[in-house]
Structure 1
């Protein structure tokens, strides 16, 4: 997603910080041509010579082409400009979203444009767990791995953990097998009825045996 931009004046210092970030990106470190292309057009723009940025000057002063270079017969600058635009989009979609200025090369031109990027707090800080995300046992964590409070039996955890928690009753364990409270209540009633029937049958057998 494209970062929000601002129309406020862009400082040369901020542009150079973003340019340095681009040049350190793996995509530009792998291509000396793209790094030289970007450095040249940004430097010329910041020096106030943006109007002079043409295919010929880029080829001869940034890409190492001979003075006989003819842009009308050699499309190499246009090809490199297309690659530069794609790489800039990739870089600003990744680490570049944290930089102060977005450097762009508009389609159909070689003169760069600079836009201030607006940052949101979540761009810089990772989300930290709130009180609801902390388990009771995490609050009393040991100061170092492998240590435990003096007098705590091996295998026993702090209050609230699985090791330190008392076992649930049989009824509670049975109720926990059901998805809803209604299902649990129904199962409990059926169990009581079955128990009463079993008691009645046992009494009848006892009476018949002693008749």
Structure 2
């Protein structure tokens, strides 16, 4: 396929988007479908500069206004899944997709590149059996290292740091109490022996 850097008409991008969303990776994942539809529609509407992790999370992925992309990597994780899904579709199901939609690493703004259509398949070539598409998986939060959200992980770390601080203070008080001089006079054990 040869690539051209000409401007791609919006109607062709919309047609390509609808074709992409019918491909198995997107049929299986409503979250990826919402992500891709959102970024493409925002770009076509001239609002590409506003496509950020926060807007994707709150407007496409259903997160609340308190979403903090610096604490929650879910948009970055979903963007990686989106890039892999697009690569899979173009590698396996590129028939009729003469526009390549990509989301370059380092951002979330999509790019639209016109490609030459692949040569037609010979009439006598066997057609592949249509693959059955499994039912869509329910939306689940992305897995994290220890099964907690980043905010939950931060809370656990803060709790552990607090416990460590209390233990250090207790140890310091115990050591200083043992090293402090006792009351004036002979030690108690000597006073007992002297009687």
Normalising by structure 1, we get a TM-score of 0.57
Equivalent in the alignment of 1:126:
122
Compare 95-104 and 41-50 and name the one that shifted more: 95-104
Give yes or no for contact 1:7–1:115 (8 Å, CA) kept in 2: yes
Q: Provide Cα deviations, 1:153-201, integer angstroms capped at 9, x if missing partner.
A: xxxxxxxxxxxxxxxxxxxxxxxxxxxxxxxxxxxxxxxxxxxxxxxxx
- 1:14 maps to which of 12, 15, 26: 12
- 1:51 maps to which of 46, 49, 52: 49
Q: Is residue 2:75 matched to residue 1:77? A: yes
Question: How is 1:94-109 mapped onto 2 (pairs within 5 angstroms)?
Answer: 94-109=92-107
The secondary structure found in structure 2 opposite 1:69 is coil
Deviation at 1:128, TM superposition (A): 5.4
Unaligned runs of 5+ in 2: 126-195
Cα distance in 2 for partners of 1:4, 1:88 equals 18
Question: How is 1:189-200 mapped onto 2 (pairs within 5 angstroms)?
Answer: none
Cα distance in 1 for partners of 2:59, 2:123 equals 47
- 2:23 maps to which of 17, 25, 37: 25
Larger radius of gyration: 1
Equivalent in the alignment of 1:148:
none
Q: Which has the higher contact order (CA 8 A, sep 6+)?
A: 2
Runs of 4+ in 1 over 3 A off after TM superposition: none
Deviation at 1:32, TM superposition (A): 0.5
Equivalent in the alignment of 2:154:
none
The number of residues matched between the two structures is 125
Cα distance in 2 for partners of 1:69, 1:119 equals 41
Equivalent in the alignment of 2:111:
113
Cα distance in 1 for partners of 2:45, 2:66 equals 26
Normalising by structure 2, we get a TM-score of 0.61
Cα distance in 2 for partners of 1:110, 1:100 equals 22
Cα distance in 2 for partners of 1:72, 1:16 equals 32
